[in-house]
């Protein structure tokens, strides 16, 4: 079904769709989460399908000790559930004996029927009683029925918040930056906070699983990723207050994000200027090089990562691209409000997905570049259209000043490749004519 609903002021009406989704499930986020939290192990409780997805998507290196695996649950009737708990306990015992370095074991639920019947939170509680404090055990769902690929991260962070100590039992964090960031980006932000004089900052998730600072009414938090609705709700349920801002993509987004933090913590204007002036200039210079490639290009976003409104805002405001449609699997109206307000008037916004209808709209609008999932990209390429895989924006460091140029470059790459191939073809054609 395709229903235009209430118009919002800056953009056109929102198309709400409740059809088939063409996105990866929440298990996929383990690929970046296991790299970030270095003493955690993600044990998927799933099927052979889940194991295949993870192995092919993550490309496990055979010489390294992996930090995720799949405990494969075979089909059985309800009477067999008790055995399933025993089997999982045995797998966990074996794993923790072999890998005592694991400090946090994360059980990740999936969507096959045999797993849905299984009470994972009960299993996590039981295993935690046995293995804590040496190994904490927690769980969340990465099921494809409930989650798209970035929502797996949202569920993991929610589980971390739910088991974090309450303030004042432990000193509260002053600021929590919520959203998995590559280490290089985290380091850059940490330096900027230091230069601004903002201390007591916690990144969620951190690089290791040691217990977080307390969370309470004295805690402010800011989202570094736009797909963290459940995490934000969990933090707010502890009394923490959200700092509203654009997301830190591009020079404009990063400055607005840092400015919102500076305002919340009373950072003087000259101190903010001193901390940000040089990296802002570097970001602007880096973007200049890519603008000629993107200025006036017509871009269509399929719903995939929930990063789409922020990416579209960046492309429109900082590179001069034209935005045709911005699809997002789910739109958190409050968190995305600032991004949507900066999109060109009349931009078509779609929430949810009905893939056939959206393919029709993409073909009809004939964009210069389609940002979409891997499953749609190949057929579009076969039609001679240029595409960009949206999952790359989840894997690549793109936040912050120093990455603004890299972010633009991700969009430019397919355009450049096409240009090079076309030139090559032109040379060949000329040679064959002579
Ligand atoms: S969780 Fe569901 S959608 Fe994801 S790989 Fe497993 S079976 Fe497939």
Provide the pLDDT for residue 9.
44
Is the CB of residue 213 below 6 angstroms from any atom belonging to ligand 1?
no
CA-closest candidate to residue 182, choices 384, 389, 33, 23 = 33
Distance CA 262, CA 272 (A): 7
8-state DSSP, 148: B
pLDDT-based confidence at residue 432 (cuts at 50, 70, 90)? very low
How much distance in Å is there from the Cα of 100 to the middle of ligand 1?
A: 29
Provide the pLDDT for residue 149.
87
Distance CA 265, CA 222 (A): 12
Please tell me the CATH code under which domain 26-147 is placed. 3.40.50.1980
Proportion of the chain above pLDDT 90, given as a percent: 71
Is the CB of residue 54 below 6 angstroms from any atom belonging to ligand 1?
no
**E strand or H helix at 69:** strand 68-72
Is the CB of residue 152 below 6 angstroms from any atom belonging to ligand 1?
no
Provide the pLDDT for residue 425.
64
Mean pLDDT estimate for the chain: 89
Lowest pLDDT segment from 15-24, 118-127, 422-431: 422-431
8-state DSSP, 175: E
Q: Which CATH superfamily is domain 175-273 in?
A: Nitrogenase molybdenum iron protein domain (3.40.50.1980)
Is the CB of residue 73 below 6 angstroms from any atom belonging to ligand 1?
no
- DSSP strand pairing (2-7 vs 13-18): antiparallel
Spatial contact of 226 and 207, defined as CB atoms under 8 Å apart:
no
Provide the pLDDT for residue 426.
62
Lowest pLDDT segment from 33-42, 51-60, 106-115: 51-60
When pLDDT is averaged across residues 94-115 and rounded to a whole number, the result is 92
Is the CB of residue 348 below 6 angstroms from any atom belonging to ligand 1?
no
Spatial contact of 280 and 248, defined as CB atoms under 8 Å apart:
no
- Kindly report, residue by residue over 369-427, the tens digit of the pLDDT: 999 998 899 999 999 999 999 999 998 999 999 999 999 999 999 999 999 988 766 64
Does residue 242 have a pLDDT over 90?
yes
How much distance in Å is there from the Cα of 310 to the middle of ligand 1?
A: 28
The angle, 0 to 180 degrees and rounded to 10, between the axes of the packed helices 250-264 and 308-319 is 110
Domain with CATH 3.40.50.1980 in the chain: 2-22+288-422, 26-147, 175-273
Lowest pLDDT segment from 180-184, 228-232, 260-264, 346-350: 346-350
Who's near 97: CB < 8 A, 6+ residues apart? none
Alpha-carbon distances, residue 173 vs 36, 105, 212 (angstroms): 20, 24, 8
Number of H helices and E strands in the chain, helices first, is 16, 15
Who's near 278: CB < 8 A, 6+ residues apart? none
Lowest pLDDT segment from 57-61, 193-197, 261-265: 57-61
Provide the pLDDT for residue 147.
85
Spatial contact of 149 and 374, defined as CB atoms under 8 Å apart:
no
How much distance in Å is there from the Cα of 113 to the middle of ligand 1?
A: 11
- Indicate the fold that domain 2-22+288-422 takes in CATH: Rossmann fold (3.40.50)
How much distance in Å is there from the Cα of 114 to the middle of ligand 1?
A: 12
Residue 139 is assigned to a ligand binding site: no
The residue nearest atom 1 of ligand 1, judged by CA position, is 110
Distance CA 426, CA 431 (A): 9
Distance CA 96, CA 90 (A): 10
Alpha-carbon distances, residue 37 vs 129, 193, 205, 246, 363 (angstroms): 22, 22, 7, 26, 41
Is the CB of residue 143 below 6 angstroms from any atom belonging to ligand 1?
yes
Proportion of the chain above pLDDT 70, given as a percent: 90
CA-closest candidate to residue 374, choices 24, 12, 6 = 24
Altogether, the residues listed in the chain come to a count of 434
Who's near 82: CB < 8 A, 6+ residues apart? none
Provide the pLDDT for residue 151.
94
- Kindly report, residue by residue over 338-366, the tens digit of the pLDDT: 999 999 988 999 998 888 999 999 999 99
pLDDT-based confidence at residue 16 (cuts at 50, 70, 90)? confident
**E strand or H helix at 164:** none
- Kindly report, residue by residue over 223-235, the tens digit of the pLDDT: 999 999 999 999 9
How much distance in Å is there from the Cα of 145 to the middle of ligand 1?
A: 8
């Amino acid at each position: 079904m395709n229903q235009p609903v209430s118009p919002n002021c800056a953009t056109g009406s929102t198309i709400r769709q409740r059809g088939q989704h063409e996105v990866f499930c929440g298990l996929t986020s383990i690929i970046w989460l296991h790299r970030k939290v270095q003493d955690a192990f993600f044990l998927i409780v799933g099927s052979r399908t889940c194991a295949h997805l993870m192995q092919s998507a993550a490309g496990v290196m055979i010489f390294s000790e992996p930090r995720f695996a799949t405990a494969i649950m075979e089909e059985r009737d309800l009477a067999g559930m008790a055995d399933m708990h025993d089997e999982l306990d045995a797998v966990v015992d074996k794993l923790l004996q072999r890998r005592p370095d694991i400090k946090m074991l994360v059980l990740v639920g999936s969507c096959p029927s045999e797993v849905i019947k299984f009470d994972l939170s009960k299993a996590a509680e039981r295993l935690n009683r046995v293995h804590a404090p040496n190994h904490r055990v927690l769980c969340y769902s990465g099921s494809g029925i409930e989650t798209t690929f970035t929502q797996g991260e949202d569920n993991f962070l929610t589980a971390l918040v739910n088991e974090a100590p309450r303030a004042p039992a432990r000193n509260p964090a002053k600021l929590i930056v919520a959203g998995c960031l590559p280490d290089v980006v985290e380091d850059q932000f940490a330096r900027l906070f230091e230069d601004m004089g903002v201390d007591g900052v916690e990144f969620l998730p951190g690089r290791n699983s040691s217990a977080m600072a307390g969370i309470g009414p004295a805690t402010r938090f800011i989202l570094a990723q736009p797909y963290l609705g459940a995490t934000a709700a969990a933090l707010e349920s502890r009394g923490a207050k959200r700092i509203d801002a654009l997301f830190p993509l591009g020079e404009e987004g990063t400055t607005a994000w840092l400015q919102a933090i500076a305002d919340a913590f009373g950072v003087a204007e000259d101190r903010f200027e001193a901390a940000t002036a040089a990296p802002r200039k570097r970001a602007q210079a880096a973007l200049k090089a890519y603008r000629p490639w993107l200025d006036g290009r017509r871009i269509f976003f399929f719903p995939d990562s929930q990063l789409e409104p922020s990416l579209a805002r960046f492309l429109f405001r900082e590179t001069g691209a034209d935005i045709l449609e911005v699809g997002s699997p789910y739109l958190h109206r409050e968190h995305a409000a600032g991004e949507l307000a900066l999109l060109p008037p009349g931009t078509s916004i779609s929430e949810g997905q009905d893939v056939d209808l959206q393919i029709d709209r993409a073909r009809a609008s004939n964009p210069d570049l389609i940002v979409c999932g891997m499953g749609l990209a190949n057929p579009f390429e076969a039609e001679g259209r240029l595409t960009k895989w949206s999952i790359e924006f989840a894997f690549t460091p793109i936040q912050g000043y120093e990455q603004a140029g890299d972010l633009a470059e991700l969009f430019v790459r397919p355009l450049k490749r096409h240009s090079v191939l076309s030139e090559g073809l032109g040379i060949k054609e000329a040679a064959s004519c002579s």
